[in-house]
Amino acid sequence: MSDIPETTSASTGWGVALRTGAALAAAMGVGRFVFTPVLPLMEAQAHLAPASASAIATSNYLGYLVGAILGIVFPIISRSRNALRISAVALIISLAVMPLTVDVATWVMIRGVAGIASAVIFMVAGNTILTKLASTKPHIVGWAYGGVGAGIAMSGILVAVVSSVSDWRASWWSAAALTALLLAVGWFVGESVPRTGVTETTAESDQAIPSHRRSFIILACSYFFEGAGYIVAGTFLVAAVSATGPAWLGGSVWTIVGAAALPSCAAWTWLSLHGSRPTLLTAALVLQAVGIALPSISGAAAPAIVSAVLFGATFVGITTLSLATGRHLRVPRAIAILTAGYGIGQVVGPLIVAPTLSGGYRPALLVGACLVLVAAAGSALLRIRFPHHDQPHRKDRHFRGSVGSDGLQPNSEMERMSETNGISHRKDHHTA
């Protein structure tokens, strides 16, 4: 009786979405990004300097990278329920101990541990979403990933409320409590027992089907630059708006980001069923670049609100589209590899903008926007000779029996149905 039966949660779809969404809300929305709305409080009350804030943020992103690399080296980590639970406990503790010191070096170490824990939880939840929802209930996938936006919105509201009656320390403790509550909901996400047979079969299948490595390399490079650019806004957007905009806006902008992110994943997922993912990625990246650049151009309230909406409406959607595209390209361990590249970008981003922080946060946001535009150029390049043959929006072409855009044609009705749903029934393929 220690585990919830898998069949019950899988049969509803929404049960899986609720648990994985809660895990993502805790790991990403709160565990990783609560530092963003707390940062202005720490600057004012704990006298945290911008350079120190950048070092703390970089440590968290470096930890995220380490967690992603662990998922590559030890694939079972990215699926294991026990790995998620250990990471959950580590993440909660890391948030709770932040107020116990004012030493920057200690903060750097603590946020590094939080980054590792966040990455592991993200990979376990992401793999659960793709294996249990992507092929059977694709319309729910976006809502599951929307947990990130829900977590951001909750952390923004939480910090705004707590800061009105207490200080930065109470904000961290409240964030730890919220994370514990969310992870209690997501406690059963992941595989309870390593399924060796299934893992071996999957590995053999990945080798049996040709992957599109050229397209995957382009995708990985684009996703790297997205990680470098978006994290600049993810770290400094609230501080930049607080420094130049109205007082009421600084506490609200992060909540606006989360509110925009919550439905955005479902919207981008729906669009991907009717259009090319590379085209959608390019559009999302361009919109995000505009959103990041706006506060660097004007300190008024209207551009800041538009910036928050555009940023929230794109950054989780870009992750959803990128991971789905990586899976579509059939490269082994695609999620872990893309997460690692994204993590490297998040480490590099704050380092690139560090020299500009002496002049405030606005120049840093402009640099971040430029990095995202480079990512958009990469995703536009991805459109060339992209293997659309088993994307959902091309399914009618296959049922008519015509050849796909890459010259490949399904060999059987079973294959056509499998590819339409993003599943490849390898045994049928080999025995046909």
Summarize pLDDT for 149-168 with one digit per residue, the tens. 999 999 999 999 999 899 99
- Is residue 424 included in any domain, yes or no? no
Q: Residue type at 349?
A: G
Q: What is the 8-class DSSP label of residue 411?
A: S
Give tens-digit pLDDT for 175-196: 999 999 999 999 999 988 656 5
Q: Per the structure, how many domains does the chain have?
A: 1
- Is residue 156 included in any domain, yes or no? yes
Give tens-digit pLDDT for 296-355: 888 888 999 999 999 999 998 998 899 888 888 878 778 778 888 998 998 899 889 888
Q: Which domain holds residue 265?
A: 13-193+210-389
CB atoms within 10 A of CB 24: 31
Range with the lowest mean pLDDT among 80-89, 250-259, 384-393? 384-393
- Is residue 406 included in any domain, yes or no? no
Q: What is the pLDDT of residue 397?
A: 42
Q: How many CA atoms lie within 13 A of 63 on its CB side?
A: 28
Q: How far apart are CA 16 and CA 5, in angstroms?
A: 12
- Is residue 412 included in any domain, yes or no? no
Q: How far apart are CA 352 and CA 227, in angstroms?
A: 12
Q: How far apart are CA 70 and CA 78, in angstroms?
A: 8
* pLDDT exceeds cutoff 60 at 114: yes
Residue closest to 43 by CA, chosen among 309, 250, 300: 250
Q: Residue type at 34?
A: V
| CATH number where 288 lies | 1.20.1250.20
For the purposes of burial, counting CB atoms within 10 Å of the CB of 231, is it exposed (0-12), middle (13-18) or buried (19 or more)? buried
In whole numbers, what is the pLDDT of the chain averaged over residues? 82
Residues contacting residue 63 through CB under 8 Å, at least 6 positions apart: 111, 112, 113, 114, 115, 116, 117, 118, 119
Q: How many CA atoms lie within 13 A of 419 on its CB side?
A: 27
Q: How far is CA 217 from CA 174, 221, 382, in A?
A: 41, 6, 9
- Is residue 1 included in any domain, yes or no? no
- Is residue 42 included in any domain, yes or no? yes
* Predicted structure pTM score: 0.77
Q: What is the pLDDT of residue 196?
A: 52
Cα angle 190-196-202, degrees, rounded to a multiple of 5: 85
Which token pair is 29? 């929305």
Strand partners, 191: 80
- Is residue 247 included in any domain, yes or no? yes
Range with the lowest mean pLDDT among 39-53, 75-89, 184-198, 269-283? 184-198
Q: What percent of the chain has pLDDT over 90?
A: 46
Q: What percent of the chain has pLDDT over 70?
A: 82
Cα angle 290-293-296, degrees, rounded to a multiple of 5: 155
Q: What is the pLDDT of residue 394?
A: 56
- Is residue 113 included in any domain, yes or no? yes
Give tens-digit pLDDT for 225-278: 999 999 999 888 888 888 877 767 877 888 999 999 989 988 988 898 888 889
Residue closest to 243 by CA, chosen among 360, 363, 368: 360
* pLDDT exceeds cutoff 70 at 37: yes
Confirm if 241 and 249 have CB atoms less than 8 A apart: yes
State whether the Cα torsion 175-237-299-352 is positive or negative: positive
Q: What is the pLDDT of residue 194?
A: 56
Helix ranges restricted to H, 298-361: 301-328, 334-353
